Amino acid sequence: MAKIKQMPDSLANQIAAGEVVERPASVVKELVENAIDAQSTEIIVELVEAGIQQIKVTDNGIGMVKEDLCLAFLPHATSKIYDVNDLFNIHSLGFRGEALASIASVSKVRIDSKVKEEASANYILIEGSNYIEEGISQARAGTSITVDSLFYNTPARLKHLKTIKTELSHSLKFIQNLSLSYPEIRFRLIHNDKVIFSSIGNGELQQAIANVYHPNIARDLLAIKGSSSDFSIEGYISKPTLTRTNRQYIHWIINGRVVKNYILDEVLLKAYGRQLMIGRHPIAVVSITLDARLVDVNVHPTKQTVRLSKEDELSELLKETVQTVLQQYNMIPSASDTPLPRLSPEAKVSNLSLDLQHHKDTEQRDLSDSGTYYGELRSALANNSGAVIEEGQALPKEQINKNDKISSDNIESLADAERNEKKLDFFSLRYVGQIHGTYLIAEGESGFYLIDQHAAQERIRYENLMNEPIDTNRQQQLLMPVIFNFTMSETETVNELMPQFNRLGIYLDKFGPNSFQLESYPDWIEAHEVESIVRDVSELLAKQPDLTIQQIREQAIIMRSCRGAIKANHYLDKQQAQALIESLDGLEDPYHCPHGRPVFVEFTENYIEKLFKRIQDRHEGGLYH
Ligand code: ADP
Ligand code: MG
């Protein structure tokens, strides 16, 4: 029975209008979303020259009957909504009834489709919106749509396309995103006859993440789950130590739709708080489900943004859900979080990378995996995901390759087995000594700790400073007023920000066309930093005018606690070292410096015994004796 209807103008007029076919990836998007709406469990996307020459999407969904094949190409023809009420309760990815019509207007399209109940498949051919022919075909149940010569009749759009590599990367990214929101669907992306991405489709999100990123990453994520009366949240987030330089690795899936959402990004970052180093972002794949009536999808034709009702409630729930999990996750990084290679008997123990400096480097390095998506199919993907392995994993891998005896599968994290959940009693630690003028060694009940003295002191100073009350009225007079010269546009900004400056206790007086003078400063600033803080504050406020005094002060304090803390290569005597360790006790978060780096690393006894092969790892059974 035919299902597709052309919608009345009254409904069509209410739909976010706009061109959705911009590039091959937009065609891929529309066709694959149709396949998902048609309840497919397997979707194959085949591209020739990144889709510029040909795009073919084959699914095993419900198919279309013959009459629907012709109707599908009409503008505003859809089987997904019929009246205005449906528009506010959308359960499908599509609803605009525009995609096929738009695609067919700029290419040569053939659809083959078969519904289960009918004996044979039908096909239809359309070129530049013109009907060419239809007939009976041999296709299997489901639908296969072939789009040839995209933009053949709109040379201007063709000219706008980027390189093959870029166009392909858009499609790849899109399919990968979808595979994260539909772990139960098996996706395959084939480019010029080579499979460049496939997902298993076994319904498990963690598996889908492994397919998109890397099994090592997927394994290392923390599962989150939470719900309120309106929302339910489920997904995976990275530990605070596994981070990226940008937010591309944060995926929001709202009722099955992959969307960008700046507000949710911010809530997530806030939930990590200071555990995250400044400028770093977690990896996260989070699926949010809610009543379809609480989401407005009809905001933009590509539907990549949605409007949510009760955003505050959702933000609160998200924050709680993430924080619960992060709190449970051990705050003391264990040395065993860095996986050990299984060494062959010949391997030298000195190969082991227990260098803590590397721990730091790992975090500071940009591990972004913006690797090529194009070119050597598998290798591109292997590189892609290879680059995101934390160095700790990459390093042993290298050694193993050198030894060439054991496969990389033998690398595994001991983290779970070793995790120490309890809070540390710093007073019970026995100080052993200092190494490299940088790290303190202390022995505890269940192992020993390497403490980064600089990070520890930064943390202590930071918390002490944060606990001091702010009084913007208490002003210190400067002996000589400080003169600030700004550019014209800076002057404009400073003028606009004057009320905010005053709230912070900073009173700038006009001194010349583009200069100001400061005669006193508030107590929360230190004399030597007046100049830099006023400049920093104007930059900070220019970006985020509604920062509170607490937030600005916090930034200033982070900078200050870092500058004032003891550096590496500085000798501490026993009393100083012991005092430093004891000062960690009672801190809100003794585990991270204000930039999010670890303050100390734990080496459990168990881990040390494994290192020396005094005990066998349970997975290692009988490998080396
Ligand atoms: P929309 O998805 O917004 O309804 P489209 O132009 O993308 O609009 O598709 C029009 C109609 O064609 C859909 O409503 C659906 O009935 C049908 N259709 C398109 N692709 C498929 C497919 N792969 N399997 C089954 N039906 C499809
Ligand atoms: Mg559609």
Measured in Å, residue 33 CA sits from the centre of ligand 2 at 6
Report phi then psi at 283, rounded to 5. Answer: -100, 135
Provide the H-helix boundaries in 229-344: 262-272, 311-328
Determine whether the shortest distance from the Cβ of 79 to ligand 1 is under 6 A. Answer: yes
Least confident of 18-32, 410-424, 494-508: 410-424
Determine whether the shortest distance from the Cβ of 44 to ligand 1 is under 6 A. Answer: no
Q: How far apart are CA 595 and CA 115, in angstroms?
A: 58
User: Of 119, 113, 129, which Cα lies nearest the Cα of 21?
Assistant: 129
Q: How far apart are CA 437 and CA 72, in angstroms?
A: 73
Pocket test for ligand 1, best of 4, 21, 37 (most atoms within 8 A of CB): 37
Measured in Å, residue 80 CA sits from the centre of ligand 2 at 9
- pLDDT of residue 367 exceeding 60: no
pLDDT band at 353; cut points 50, 70, 90: very low
Please write the tens of the pLDDT for every residue from 296-317.
776 676 667 778 888 899 999 9
Question: Is the CB of residue 2 less than 8 Å from the CB of residue 65?
Answer: yes
DSSP state of 129: T
Least confident of 74-88, 97-111, 206-220: 74-88
Please write the tens of the pLDDT for every residue from 513-565.
888 999 899 887 877 778 878 877 887 777 777 777 777 777 777 766 666 66
Query: Residue 347, CB half-sphere, CA atoms under 13 Å: how many?
Result: 23
Output the residue whose Cα is nearest ligand 1's atom 23.
35
Question: Is the CB of residue 435 less than 8 Å from the CB of residue 441?
Answer: yes
Write down the pLDDT at residue 373. 25
Amino acid at 280: R
Of residues 281 and 252, the one with the higher pLDDT is 252
Q: What percent of the chain has pLDDT above 90?
A: 35
CB atoms within 10 A of CB 575: 9
* 3-state DSSP assignment of residue 571: coil
Structure tokens at 210: 């492994």
Least confident of 126-135, 170-179, 222-231, 460-469: 460-469
Taking the CA atoms of the chain, what radius of gyration do you get in angstroms?
A: 30
pTM, full prediction = 0.60
pLDDT band at 346; cut points 50, 70, 90: very low
Determine whether the shortest distance from the Cβ of 98 to ligand 1 is under 6 A. Answer: yes
Q: Which atom of ligand 1 is nearest to the CA of 92?
A: 2
- pLDDT of residue 227 exceeding 90: yes
Strand partners, 244: 281
550: enclosing H helix or E strand: helix 549-564
Structure tokens at 80: 């997904």
Measured in Å, residue 96 CA sits from the centre of ligand 1 at 10
Determine whether the shortest distance from the Cβ of 97 to ligand 1 is under 6 A. Answer: yes
Q: What percent of the chain has pLDDT above 70?
A: 78
Write down the pLDDT at residue 334. 65
User: Of 442, 440, 443, which Cα lies nearest the Cα of 568?
Assistant: 440
- pLDDT of residue 490 exceeding 80: no
